[in-house]
Amino acid sequence: MNTIRFLLEKEFLQIFRNKSMLPILFLMPVVQLLVLSFAATYELKEVDFVMVDQDRSEVSRQLAAEFQSTGYFTLHDVVSNMEEAKQMMDAGKVGMIMHLPPGLSSDFYSGQHASIQLSVDAVDGTQAGLIQSYSASIINDFNQQHRADLEMSLPNKPVHQAKTINLVPQNWYNPELDYITFMVPGILVVLVSMIGLFLSGMNIVREQEIGTIEQLNVTPITKTQFMIGKLLPFWVIGMFDLLIGLALARYGFDIPFLGSLATILVVAGIFLIVVQALGLFISTVTGTQQQAMFIAWFMMVIFILLGGLFTPIESMPGWAQDLTLANPVAYFIRIMRMVLLKGAGWEEIAWMVLVLSGFASLLLLLSINRYKKTAG
């Protein structure tokens, strides 16, 4: 036991003496949360559009005003032919072309079928989808409002209110459809993964590189003591960073904390061991920090892409969904969202916690076994 205390003492001394790493370790949660949460947004902001107005009527002016009044769209220009508009789209000046054909207003007011065409720059598919659905709802509003006006202004006509089924969507767990609410729990997971995956493993490879590990290997320190000495300091730092992140999420971003904080912390503790053990394993198969860094990054990117952080796992192809079953990050992101946003308790997440514990024991055993004090 004593040996471990001396090892820990030494690791902490070294960590706190490293003037370039230390600020990063404790600023990381703040910077990551701020940057990622605000930058990685799916909300629609200020789409420039051009109007090809071949109707030149009250309706076209009203439509333009309606779009602009939402704050999501800015009228870039009004032109009279499609060619000009296309050039603007090609040049990337506008993200949408609204084509109002001649005769639009007469059709509209005479109660006939009236159509307009929206052409959307769909290089970014998600963005294009958003533009479409926002536009559809603006036009829908426009229709209802003006149809009502129209019917009011013709009092002699029989009032036949259109009987339609109204869809009234209610969004549970994240009623405002706030993107940040959705992102922050996932970003906290990425943060913890990075600390776990990179720091412990890199620390061992560094000792290999500068040769201090050889001096340790001739001492009576056992493999297990050594591993604990390397894991525990960064485990503590990881948990500490998570707490900073959670505090920021709660009080800075107003993320609801429906579930229990203790649950989150217990799962985080297990999850950290999983990624740390993986980091240690990487360190036993590499000889330089460069190699270790490269492999760790490779895994990190796959973990994030297959983790459901940006794209829902349910919309991945079957084989990719199967892959996510081996991805610890996917489990933790899911647990985070379930516990924080839905208030899930142990019963709902138990099986995932079990899987994570399984990963932790397996990887830990594997890396302790692979670490050799004596070269073969």
Partner 1 sequence: MYDVAIKTEGLTRRFGDFTAVDQISFEVKKGEIFGFLGANGAGKTTAMRMLTGLLMPTEGQAEVAGFDVYKQAESIKKSIGYMSQKFSLYNDLTAEENIRFYGGVYGIGRNELPQKTDEVIDSVGLQSVRKKPVESLPLGWKQKLAFSISILHQPKVVFLDEPTGGVDPVIRRQFWEKIYEIADRGITVFVTTHYMDEAEYCDRVSIMVDGKIEALDTPKGLKQSFSCDSIEEVFIQLARSAERGQG
Kindly list the residues in this chain that would bind partner 1 in the complex (CB under 8 A): 2-3, 5-7, 9-10, 13-14, 17-18, 210-212, 214-222, 373-376
CB of 229 vs partner 1, minimal distance in Å: 10
Radius of gyration of the chain from its Cα atoms, rounded to whole angstroms: 29
CB of 210 to partner 1, least distance (A): 8
CB of 10 to partner 1, least distance (A): 5
CA dist 148 and 153 (Å) reads 9
Burial class (CB in 10 A: 0-12, 13-18, 19+), 49: buried
Residues 192/241, Cβ–Cβ less than 8 Å: yes
Cβ-proximal residues to 100 (8 Å cutoff; 6+ apart), any chain: 51, 52, 53, 54, 55, 59, 60, 63, 116
Tokens of 169: 């969507």
Q: Which is nearer to partner 1, 81 or 222 (CB)?
A: 222
**Shorter beta-carbon distance to partner 1: residue 232 or 316:** 232
Based on CB atoms, which residue is closest to partner 1, 5 or 93? 5
Q: Give the residue with the Cβ less far from partner 1, 171 or 215.
A: 215
Distances in Å between the Cα of 320 and the Cα atoms of 306, 313, 326 are: 7, 8, 10
Which residue reads 């930058």 in tokens?
39
Q: At its nearest, how many Å lie between partner 1 and the CB of residue 302?
A: 34
Nearer to partner 1, 30 or 213 (CB): 213
Cα distance between residue 240 and residue 243, in whole Å: 5
Interatomic CA distance for residues 159 and 369, integer angstroms? 82
Q: What is the length of the chain? A: 376
Cβ distance to partner 1 smaller for residue 56 or 223: 223
For residue 200, the minimal CB distance to partner 1 (Å) is 17
CB of 11 to partner 1, least distance (A): 10
Min separation Cβ 216 and partner 1, Å = 8
Bridging pattern class, strands 47-53 and 73-79: parallel
Work out how close the CB of 204 gets to partner 1 at its nearest, in angstroms, rounded to a whole number. Answer: 14
Give the containing element (helix H, strand E) for 350. helix 346-370
CA-nearest of 62, 38, 47, 37 to 134 is: 47
Q: Report yes or no: 189 and 329 within 8 Å, Cβ to Cβ.
A: yes
Residue among 226 and 271 whose Cβ is closer to partner 1: 226
In the complex with partner 1, the residue whose CB is nearer, 39 or 210, is: 210
Nearest to 204 by CA among 277, 269, 274: 277
> Which of 54, 217 has the CB closer to partner 1?
217
Element (H, E) at 289: helix 289-305
Q: Work out the burial of residue 355: count CB atoms within 10 Å of its CB; fewer than 13 is exposed, 13-18 middle, 19 or more buried.
A: middle
